[in-house]
């Protein structure tokens, strides 16, 4: 979702050749391949096929395999996105080979070093050459960390480009309708799904909320496995529908038509803010504070009583009003491509 708009915008620039590398960090068909199809992203030039593993194993494999590609192709610039292991793994290799790095979604901070993504964000931004930020807080964080303001570019949220472009093509997953109101749930963070006591509390709350509104739960493979291991499958499967992961077009349809979204995802906080759909985030912090300050997002932390209270308040018509943040206008890819083209000129 983040790469597609910039790939398309750079294609319009003469003299710039792009090579797309799929590390294989996300390797399940429903978590990867379908996105290339629906987003119109060209087939990757390289697939490193790294697969799953511990953070150290996955990052190390990415580094070893990406180094071979980088040394053979000798790119003039590496563009990395977000905060996954692919981001920091490839950035470290590029930095040591003297390849400039551009970081999309630079400057975001949750200030929680217990999040693997936070470590990836901080380390990537220490070795980046061009910083592309989605919101003003990103600029502020980078400047506080000593980054030269001349290297920072507030371009907006590139993921919203994709959302705006494809929203007219959004379609309901097979067998799902909006005839009856529903809450949309996603869970995948280790702090929620790998801790038995936390996952138990979350499922107990969802069971109670489902007595009032049906719940659609496209379930991450890791989360399904944890729930099965802990015997935490829904008390009433007719009220909580566990779904396989869906494609992007189906998922934005689910977001657009939801009465409320219950999540621990970063990207969904942003998409729900643009869609103006109430969102309750089961995390104690967020690297996207603009979604709470301007948008429709509310941070819940681990307080399940508050979680249920806020959900009922929204269903009673008490959702807080939200605004779309500045520059979340569908043109971030174009703005970024202009800056990259200037940087790459001989």
Catalytic residues: 188
How many Å apart are CA 173 and CA 247, to the nearest integer? 9
Any idea what DSSP says for residue 145?
T
How many Å apart are CA 99 and CA 80, to the nearest integer? 12
Cβ partners under 8 Å of residue 225, min gap 6: none
Classify strands 46-47 and 21-22 as parallel, antiparallel or unpaired: parallel
How many Å apart are CA 193 and CA 215, to the nearest integer? 18
Helices then strands, counting H and E runs in the chain, come out as 15, 12
Distances in whole angstroms, Cα of residue 223 to Cα of each of 46, 189, 249, 309, 335 = 29, 9, 22, 24, 37
- Here the tokens at position 241 are 């529908």
Helices (H), the chain: 3-11, 33-39, 55-73, 85-97, 116-126, 136-144, 158-166, 190-193, 196-209, 221-229, 248-257, 266-275, 290-293, 304-315, 332-344
In the block, residue with structure tokens 């989605």: 134
Taking a C-beta distance cutoff of 8 angstroms, is the pair 300, 307 a contact? yes
- Here the tokens at position 326 are 């500045």
How many Å apart are CA 326 and CA 330, to the nearest integer? 11
C-alpha of 19 from chain center: 22
Tell me which residue of 129, 149, 130 sits closest to 139, measured CA to CA: 149
How many Å apart are CA 96 and CA 179, to the nearest integer? 55
């Amino acid at each position: 979702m983040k790469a597609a708009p910039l790939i398309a915008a750079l294609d319009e620039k003469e003299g710039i050749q792009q090579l797309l590398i799929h590390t294989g960090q996300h390797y399940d068909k429903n978590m990867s391949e379908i996105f290339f199809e629906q987003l119109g992203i060209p087939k990757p030039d390289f697939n490193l096929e790294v697969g799953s593993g511990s953070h150290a194993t996955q990052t190390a494999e990415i580094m070893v395999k990406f180094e071979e590609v980088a040394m053979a192709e000798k790119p003039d610039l590496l563009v990395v996105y977000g905060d996954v292991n692919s981001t920091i793994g490839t950035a470290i290799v590029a930095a040591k080979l003297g390849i400039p790095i551009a970081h999309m979604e630079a400057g975001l901070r949750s200030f929680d070093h217990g999040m693997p993504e936070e470590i990836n964000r901080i380390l990537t931004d220490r070795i980046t050459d061009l910083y592309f930020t989605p919101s003003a807080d990103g600029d502020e964080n980078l400047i506080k960390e000593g980054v030269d303001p001349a290297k920072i570019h507030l371009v907006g949220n590139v993921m919203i480009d994709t959302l705006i472009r494809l929203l007219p093509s959004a379609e309901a997953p097979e067998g799902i309708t909006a005839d009856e109101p529903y809450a949309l749930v996603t869970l995948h963070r280790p702090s929620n799904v790998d801790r038995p006591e936390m996952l138990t509390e979350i499922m107990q709350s969802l069971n109670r909320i489902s007595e009032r509104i049906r719940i659609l739960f496209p379930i991450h493979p890791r989360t399904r496995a944890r729930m099965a291991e802990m015997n935490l499958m829904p008390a009433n499967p007719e009220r909580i529908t566990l779904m396989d992961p869906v494609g992007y077009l189906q998922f934005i349809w689910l977001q657009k038509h939801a009465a409320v979204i219950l999540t621990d995802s970063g990207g969904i906080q942003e998409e729900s803010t643009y869609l103006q759909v109430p969102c309750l985030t089961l995390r104690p912090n967020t690297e996207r504070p603009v979604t709470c300050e301007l948008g429709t997002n509310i941070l819940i932390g681990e307080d399940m009583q508050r979680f249920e209270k806020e959900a009922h308040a929204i269903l009673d018509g008490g959702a807080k009003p939200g605004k779309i943040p500045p520059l979340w206008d569908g043109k971030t890819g174009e703005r970024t491509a202009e800056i990259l083209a200037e940087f790459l000129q001989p």
